[in-house]
Amino acid sequence: MKFLTTNFVKCAVKSCDASEKSFPLKYEECQLQSEEQEFNPAFIVSMLDRIDWDALVSVAADLGNRSIPAEKPENIEQNEALLRELHSLLLETQIVEGKMMCQNCGHIYYIKDSIPNFLLPPHLAN
């Protein structure tokens, strides 16, 4: 699972939809791997429109990375150093194993073999 994907997923339990605490999930006991990918600044810039910056900062902190600025900087397009850092974080960082916890309902999801599993037990599904 790429770091980027953590910015797209919330708790799957329907009754958590309304709660702001269900996104982002809290990442724990994660095993990371770096997988090299060609640097494409235009792609990172285009993805930024879809990215929730606060969530990005908070998940980065879960994984021990505190170097991302708390506020989304202006003119990122011209900031190559930051674009490279985002590239390495969003696209090259793979979470191979780990836990994701919903901070609203406390449910725990697992990442196994690089694949996050959001299937729900019967009492939480509908």
Partner 1 sequence: MDDVHADVRTRYEKLTEPYMDCTFKFEVVEYQGAKKAKKEQIRIIDSFKYLGLRGKIRLSNPAQVFTVLQSYSIEADLCPRSEPDYCWFGRQVGLSARSHGIVDRYEIAKRPYFGTTTFESELSLVTCNLALVKEGQLVYDPFVGTGSFALAAGHFGGYTFGSDIDFLALKGGRPGQKDIKRLKDNFKHYGTQTKFGDVLCMDFTNSALRKDLIVDTIVCDPPYGIREGLRVCGTTNLESAKLTENKLIDGEKAFLRREYVQPKKPCTLDFMLDDLLRFSAERLPVGGRLCFWMPAADDEDIPRLIPQHEKLELIYVLEQSFYRWSRRLLVYVKRDGSYTGKTVTKEERAHENNFRERYFNRFI
Among 15, 31, 46, 78, binds partner 1 (CB under 8 A): 46
The CB-of-25 to Zn ion minimum distance in angstroms stands at 8
Do 103 and 114 contact (CB within 8 A), yes or no?
A: no
Told to check if 20 binds partner 1 by CB under 8 A, we report no
Q: In Å, how far are 18, 21, 37, 114 from 105, measured between CA atoms?
A: 12, 9, 36, 24
Nearer to Zn ion, 28 or 35 (CB): 28
| Residues whose CB falls within 8 Å of the CB of residue 61, separated by 6 or more in sequence, listed in order | none
Instruction: State whether residue 85 is helix, strand or coil.
Output: helix
Say which entry of partner 1, Zn ion, none residue 105 contacts (CB below 5 to 8 A, set by partner kind). Zn ion
Which residues bind to partner 1, rule: CB under 8 A? 1-2, 4-5, 8-14, 17, 23, 37-38, 40, 43, 46, 50, 52, 107-110, 112-113, 115-123, 125-126
